[in-house]
Amino acid sequence: MKPVWIVDDDQSIRWVLEKALAREAIPVRTFASAQAMQAELQHSVPEVLLTDIRMPGQDGLSLLHDIKQRYPDLAVIIMTAFTDLESTVKAFQHGAFDYLAKPFDINHAVISAIFSSM
Amino acid sequence: MDLQAYEFLASAVLLVDHAGCIRHANSPAQVLFALSAKQLCTMSGCDLLNADPALRSRFGGVISGKFGVLRQDIVVRRQADTVLASLTIVPMEGGPWAALLELRALEPYLLLDRTQQLSKELAAQRESLRNLAHEVKNPLGGLRGAAQLLDAELDTEELRDYTRVIMAEADRLTALIDRLIAPQSEGLRKTRLNIHEVCERVYTLLQAEFAPQVHVDRDYDTSVPELDADFSRLVQVLLNMARNAAQSVSESANGGPDLGTVVLRTRIGRQLILADRPVRMGLVVSIIDNGPGIPPGIRDKVFHPLVTGRTNGTGLGLSLAQEYAQQHGGLVEFDSWPGHTEFRLILPLEQA
């Protein structure tokens, strides 16, 4: 199984997700920025990608747009602290597989979203 | 009476006789209407003021000595343009004149500027709250997630109580933040409704929460026409206003002999100033209480989020009420002094 990739500039979110996925025996790699993830994309492709929306540098929606151009079959799950309708609609219009509102429930929301995207 | 004395006043003064005809006009009156004293003295007061039937009948009432002093805001026609003015009609007994009309032009731009300034301020505050909400939710995500992971590692129920508290409190903060930023996005679901359906719902909810400590009176003008509005948001607006009133009177009564009273009143208002324009006819719903009034220190910021006069208040009620009222093209305003606080929801009514 290929690893799940996580892009979030918030260190504690990365840590929590890493631990939660490790508990389910899901391999995981984390990145602090979209740029770092794009660089790694030269060498390998993830099973599923989880990304935050608001980050310094390239934001999550623009990253989602890039990924859908190059890897249309890769499932991307958007995480955001914005709970308004507008960013949800945007995420799905850009082809997001799922949408997680922070703070999320690890067992119910995160793990089930990842399993159903595999 | 020395008519010359009126020349020293800044406000326009007109004297009318018992037939309602203008008999004297001072210089500010001539300037306000852009007519000479001679021209003014050929006209009836009602025609000059372009009075609607309601004002006409009240005008007649003042002249015939039936009513006392009458005050209202009116729109004065001056050749091509119009001027918003506050009108006072004072009955004069025992003289050659029946009444004195005093008019002062209101500076509509000043008034509009003031209310527009308020809505701009509120919009700017909502924007910073949204940013703050975003910044707070990230660490909350880490906090809640870490607690949930720890919860899974613990073997005893007693220890899990600790992690449950952490998660529940994180959820409580999230709910608070969601309430702060909620009212923004979704549109109104307008239906044709009678405002008294809204008032009755609020009345029922108020009774359920505060009876018998608080006495709630209803004073409805049943001739108020129906309007297009979002039922649940109007309930929320009036309920937020009314709960403040009921809490204020029930806290201040504190077992005393005087029962706190809250009045729910509906009226039709004319020539009202709303945020972006004057309107000819509007619906005014007042919530009046006899509590201690709004503390002076927070009077000019009660509509700002997180401002509250109560120790356990959230400071969201009136900010939300104002926002919902503005979504309907209306506004919420108030007067308050000890023993009397009146909050008014004003909504524009289209012309019949």
Is B145 in contact with A104 (Cβ distance < 8 A)?
Answer: yes
Tell which of B129, B135, B137, B172 to mutate to test the A interface (max A CBs under 10 Å): B137
Q: In this predicted model, what pLDDT tens digit does every residue of B6-38 receive, in sequence order?
A: 888 888 999 999 888 999 999 989 988 888 989
The reported pLDDT for the residue numbered B200 is 95
What is the mean pLDDT of the segment spanning B333-338? 83
**B155 or B311, which is more confident:** B155
Is A85 in contact with B143 (Cβ distance < 8 A)?
Answer: no
Is A86 in contact with B141 (Cβ distance < 8 A)?
Answer: no
Q: How far is CA A30 from CA A69, B223, B291, in A?
A: 22, 66, 58
Which residue in chain A is spatially nearest to B149 when comparing CA positions?
A20
Tell which of B148, B160, B176 to mutate to test the A interface (max A CBs under 10 Å): B148
> Chain A partners of B176 at a C-beta cutoff of 8 Å?
none
Is a pLDDT exceeding 70 seen at residue B61?
Answer: yes
What is the mean pLDDT of the segment spanning B301-309? 78
Pairing of strands B278-289, A48-52: unpaired
Which residue in chain B is spatially nearest to A105 when comparing CA positions?
B145
Q: How far is CA B230 from CA B188, B194, B238, in A?
A: 6, 11, 12
Question: Which residue has 């009876």 as its token pair?
Answer: B211
What is the mean pLDDT of the segment spanning B266-274? 83
**A51 or B255, which is more confident:** A51
Is a pLDDT exceeding 90 seen at residue B49?
Answer: no
Least confident stretch, A57-71, B161-175, B241-255 = B241-255
The reported pLDDT for the residue numbered B255 is 54
Is A13 in contact with B134 (Cβ distance < 8 A)?
Answer: no
Is B142 in contact with A13 (Cβ distance < 8 A)?
Answer: yes
Identity of residue B330: G
Is a pLDDT exceeding 70 seen at residue B50?
Answer: yes
What is the mean pLDDT of the segment spanning B58-65? 84
Please give the mean pLDDT across all residues of chain B. 84
> Which residue in the set A16, A102, A104 is minimally distant from B149, CB to CB?
A16
Is a pLDDT exceeding 70 seen at residue B141?
Answer: yes
> Chain B partners of A104 at a C-beta cutoff of 8 Å?
141, 144-145
Is a pLDDT exceeding 60 seen at residue B171?
Answer: yes
Q: Which helix (H) or strand (E) covers residue B27, if one does?
A: helix B27-33
What is the mean pLDDT of the segment spanning A83-95? 74
The 3-state DSSP class for residue B178 equals: helix
Residues 162-191 of B with CB under 8 A from A: 170, 174, 178, 181, 184-186
Q: Phi and psi dihedrals of B216, rounded to 5?
A: -110, 125
**B82 or A31, which is more confident:** A31
> Chain A partners of B170 at a C-beta cutoff of 8 Å?
103
Pairing of strands B12-16, A75-80: unpaired
Distance from CA of B153 to the nearest CA of A (A): 10
Q: Which helix (H) or strand (E) covers residue B284, if one does?
A: strand B278-289
> Chain B partners of A102 at a C-beta cutoff of 8 Å?
137-138, 140-141
Is a pLDDT exceeding 90 seen at residue B218?
Answer: yes
Is B138 in contact with A20 (Cβ distance < 8 A)?
Answer: no
Is B142 in contact with A106 (Cβ distance < 8 A)?
Answer: no
Pairing of strands B340-348, B331-337: antiparallel
Q: How many residues does chain A have?
A: 118
> Chain B partners of A107 at a C-beta cutoff of 8 Å?
148
Provide the pLDDT confidence category of residue B110 given band limits of 50, 70 and 90: low
Q: Are A7 and A63 in contact (CB under 8 A)?
A: yes
The alpha carbon torsion through A113, A7, B144, A24 (nearest 10 deg) reads: 50
Q: How far is CA B205 from CA A34, B179, B201, B208, B342, in A?
A: 51, 21, 6, 5, 19
> Which residue in the set B146, B152, B185 is minimally distant from A84, CB to CB?
B185
Provide the pLDDT confidence category of residue B150 given band limits of 50, 70 and 90: very high
The reported pLDDT for the residue numbered A84 is 59
The reported pLDDT for the residue numbered B108 is 53
The alpha carbon torsion through B289, B291, B297, B301 (nearest 10 deg) reads: -20
Is A102 in contact with B140 (Cβ distance < 8 A)?
Answer: yes
DSSP E strand stretches across A1-118: 4-7, 28-31, 48-52, 75-80, 98-101
Is A13 in contact with B138 (Cβ distance < 8 A)?
Answer: yes
The reported pLDDT for the residue numbered A29 is 95
Look at residues A23, A5, A24 and name the one whose alpha carbon lies nearest to residue A14. A5
Residues of A engaging B, defined by a Cβ cutoff of 8 Å = 10, 12-13, 15-17, 19-20, 23, 54, 81-86, 102-107
Provide the pLDDT confidence category of residue B185 given band limits of 50, 70 and 90: very low
Which residue in chain B is spatially nearest to A8 when comparing CA positions?
B138
The 3-state DSSP class for residue B135 equals: helix
Is B145 in contact with A17 (Cβ distance < 8 A)?
Answer: yes
Instruction: Indicate the pTM of the whole model.
Output: 0.55
Q: What is the DSSP letter of B173?
A: H
